[in-house]
Structure 1
């Protein structure tokens, strides 16, 4: 599973996996409780694959941030809770992404990234991420 089919829907808790497209929107499955919901085209939806974190030099894709967290935590859940203090969250994020832009990345953004990481980790969605990346690179090497 790649982040291409993982959605964040404004006004809805957690993350959703895109299941199927309909004429008026799409059907998504919640990663929190497994319930299916229909989402209209007017809803504010973000694909995790298109989200990036501001750094002092460039924008880092969320996939890379998740990889850095996974490396730091040895594949487990985050050592800080998204409910910890602002200072604790910022200190943790500096360890993960040392050059993130403090002025443009808020504590609420860090909380959301950590919640998403933990939810994806619980559902085993991050384990497949690395194998898909290696499959793509080997396919590219074979075509060359």
Structure 2
């Protein structure tokens, strides 16, 4: 079975926030501290290695980036400050762009102008709905109660 190496993968990942991809020298501290690491799975080193080697197919077929909840322990223990936790965030942004059929996620992640315009459109829509429905106190309180479960 042949493996296709994508030499532009690092350039593509830079659009989503990848700064220093080559800081990692595979010491294994991130894998040792990660609670998601199981026997035989080298998480997050496997994803870091896939980026370093340009293995786009291997990276896009992996489920591990979605399991990471960015606790930050891997980044704290990294002796080279490679920040593997942030790297997992970059991988998720990249994968979201790949699998988003609308193309909006990739646009919002890679362009600050598009993100700003999207934010303005949402703000205008919220104000328009509020204006049409009226800014009634009862309606706002009912909407606010939807978020009570998140208050600590």
TM-score of the superposition, structure 2-length normalised? 0.26
Please say which structure displays the higher CA radius of gyration.
2
Greater percentage in helix: 2
Greater percentage in strand: 1
